[in-house]
Structure 1
Amino acid sequence: MNLPRLTYPLYLLALSSIILTACNQPPAGGAANAGGMPAMPPPEVAVVTVQAQTVPVRFEYAAQVAGSREAEIRARVTGILLKRHYNDGQTVQAGQTLFSLDNAPYEVALAAAEAQLANAQARLSQAERNLARIKPLWEQKVVAQREYDDAVSAQQIAQADIKTAQAQIKQAKLNLSYTRVDAPISGIVGRAQKTEGTLVSGTDILLATITQINPAHVYFGLPDAEQQKNRHLAATGRFKLPPQGQYVANIKLSDGSLYPHAGRLDFTDMAVNPNTGTIEARAALPNPESQLKPGQFVRVVLNGAQRVDALVVPQRAVIEGPAGKMVMLVTKDNKIEPRPVKVGEWATINGTEAWVIDSGLQAGERVLVDGLFKAMPGTVVKPVDAASVAKATTPPNAAAPSTH
């Protein structure tokens, strides 16, 4: 966000110009000088009176866009890549076939498994017939117990062989189906990593990547110090979280424009990154036009929180001094006094960008917002309410054109 700031050297240069000009001016108070010229009146400056109020605040952070889901496309079996069924960058649906491998070896394997099943079924039929012959003889004590036991065991082994053959057929069919590499999720498929004719050795080879970007995820870091401050303010009733703690997330693009779709903060990590002192957070936003791209750098703005009994001044009233931010105070005797301040969050009051002042000001004090170059510290000024000045200088609304 571009903030209206005044650098301290520029401010000193302006004050020096005022001092040089003042050397050629008669003393204030209306007395005439030797040439009969009247004294200059105090310069008129616009001020705001600081009042405690409840204001909506926003937080802005650097962020990076990522897909909400991402899947690596890998073959589950080994084979020669025969065909690719999509174009790079194409949107695909879950279950859509992306690649085809040579399936001839797997068709042969399936046929062999089916033959093994037929063989096992034949052995089972033979074992059942043999048991049917031996059982009456065993009941009449004509054959030995061992022969009967062998016949029963042969039947059981044949039954087990059938189950094994059936499992081999199932595995062969599964391997045959794996020669079609399908999309596990819907999304945009990236550039193919392998071309037709390549030997794909199973899951070791990455074929492509699918990214789902609607909704899009935006990742950023929440400063831990800021979070602790907000928790302290909330405990004392001076900070209100949004309903259910769900901040509304807006995105500023790299050109400064506002992304048209708002989202929600949907994840905040529990751990603090020791290298950055931040807590990872994520916002989810609809992305129907695919305007947000994975890897894109943006700025995320979180809205929905409120500061209670906060002191707020327009952003243009805050300038940069050698020791940090400061404002120009208009004292009770209408003199300019520089005052260092500590700023907090950004806020928007009646369409005006503002700073929340954490320390340095008291309710009822007057802060200069316009006319900074007309005054220097210690100068007597004529303060005018900024709202009255803005109202007086706003041109009347143009009359609506008549219709015929």
Structure 2
Amino acid sequence: MTVSIFAKAARVTFAMCLPFALAAALSGCATESSGQENAAAPPPPEIVAYAVKQADIPLEMAFMGQTAGSREVEVRARVGGILLRRDYEEGSRVRQGQLMFEIDPAPYQAALEQAKGALAQAEASLAQAKRDAERMDKLFKGDVVARKDFDDSKTAVETGTAAVDAAKGKVREASLNLEWTKVTAPISGMTSKETRSEGSLVTTGSDGSLLTTMSRVDPIYVNFSMSGQEMMKIRKLRAEGKVVVDGGDFTVGLTLPDGSSYPLKGRINFTDTQVDATTGVVKVRAEFQNPDGSVLPGQFVRVRLEGARFKDVLAVPQGAVLNTQMGAMVWTLDDKNQVAPRPVVLGEAVGNDYLVEQGLGAGERIIAEGVIKVRPGLTVRVRGEEPKQAQPAATAQTAPQQAPKDAPAAAQNGEAAKAEVKENRS
């Protein structure tokens, strides 16, 4: 009987302790699970936010170009002969009218003297013809000579006058040939390498008359091309008022072959009125002052058209735009730094930005960097902002709090056990 009583008491004790043990075990599991969840939860991703602004955005266009002299002249010989000497230094700057080459003048000096002698003979013949004509005039009035003799005297004077004029022309021609033996600079500019050296025979043909070339480098020209489509687009944007140009015309900047910027600004002085049928481009020319001759003809440079700007537009970084099957979109941020997608309509690409025509307003925030880290509804941390205070997490006390709920049941089990003990005792 005693053993039975103790066995029943042990069963009752086990039944009373079991709910509390389960509650404690569940409480420990809940605490451990909550800790694991808190440890495994990643921090909010860090992104870079961009506030959309409405402002003027500069429009700069760049093209490859090549420099050229504002005047490029071939220095050629007008008369043939032996080239005696060169009177300038190759590659140097010369002034207009400065002596450059000298051709042997002896043959032309002799030709000039012969022409002068022929002129003197013609003048003497004309003087004799005039004296004869005066005598014939008197005799004809006295009815001494025939009409024919009188007319012949007048013809002789006219012939003599023509001969004198021809002789004067020969003298002028010989004088010019002699003058042209001294080849002078037709313009002021930089000289190139000579094509004929001293002692060479110079001819008046196209192949044998070239002596050197010259270029005027102040001002200097820069030739470049713009596609016909781009030219039409710029004109359309200006006509619609979307693009304005300061002063009404572009300012031209120049980047030299070594990467440095030319300190002086230029202007466009020629734009072709037609599109090249073979290349589809429009030829444009800019002019720059070049007082020290630092820019040489023939250099490849980069031309920048400056002074234009898009007026009152919205722009976003290109890295903030995602191209989807439904079109372009950006991630927007609300006041709580929660992410939401927003479709947008894009305009022109300007530098590293896109112009936004529809979908965004001034003052809205978007994600500029970190677009691949986010998803709709996610809360992010903005770089450069103070992190917001997080709400205190719920402690894992749910399981222990459930123990009191089970206490009445345990008490009932205890009362039942006590009643059973009393019954057995009786």
Q: Same fold (TM over 0.5)?
A: yes
- In the TM superposition, what is the alpha-carbon distance from 1:273 to its structure 2 partner? 1.8
TM (normalized to structure 2)?
A: 0.73
Name 1:294's counterpart in structure 2: 297
1:368 aligned to 2:376? Answer: no
Distance in 2, matches of 1:149 and 1:382, equals: 120
Amino acid in structure 2 at the alignment position of 1:58: E
Shift of 1:229: 1.7
Corresponding residue for 2:184? 182
Identity between Structure 1 and Structure 2 (%): 34
Aligned residues: 348
Distance in 1, Cα, partners of 2:320 & 2:371: 14
Choose the corresponding residue for 1:335, options 339, 349, 363.
339
Q: Cα distance, 1:256 vs. partner?
A: 2.7
Note if 1:78 corresponds to 2:80.
Answer: yes
Name 2:128's counterpart in structure 1.
Answer: 126
Task: Tell whether 2:275 aligns with 1:264.
Answer: no
Alignment root-mean-square deviation, CA: 3.1
Q: 1:269-295: CA deviations, max 9, x gaps?
A: 111123332211111111223222222
Quick check: 1:336–1:375 contact (8 Å CA) kept in 2? Answer: no
Q: Where do residues 1-400 of structure 1 align in structure 2 (5 Å cutoff)?
A: 33-34=35-36, 36-37=38-39, 39-204=41-206, 205-244=209-248, 246-314=249-317, 317=319, 329-330=331-332, 332=334, 334-335=338-339, 344=348, 346=350, 355-357=353-355, 362-364=360-362, 365-369=364-368, 371-372=369-370, 375-376=373-374, 378=376, 380-382=378-380, 384=382
CA distance in 1, matches of 2:239, 2:294: 40
How has the CA–CA distance of structure 1 residues 109 and 341 changed in structure 2, closer, same or farther, with 3 Å as cutoff? Answer: farther
Shift of 1:306: 2.2
Q: What secondary structure, in the 3-state scheme, does the structure 2 residue paired with 1:123 have? A: helix
1:290-348 superposed Cα distances (whole Å, 9 cap, x missing partner): 22222211111111112123222356x4689899x98853355733759797563646x
1:126 aligned partner, one-letter code: Q
Bigger-Rg structure (1/2): 2
The answer to whether the Cα contact below 8 Å between 2:220 and 2:290 also exists between their aligned partners in 1 is yes
Counterpart amino acid of 1:268? Answer: T
Greater fraction of residues in strand: 1
Q: Tell me what 1:401 maps to.
A: none
Alignment partner, residue 28 of structure 2: none
Q: Which runs of 5+ in 2 are unaligned?
A: 1-32, 387-426
Q: TM-score, normalised by structure 1?
A: 0.77
**Distance change (3 Å), C-alpha of 1:216 and 1:383:** farther
CA contact (8 A) 2:342 2:359 kept: no
- Name the structure with the higher helix share: 2
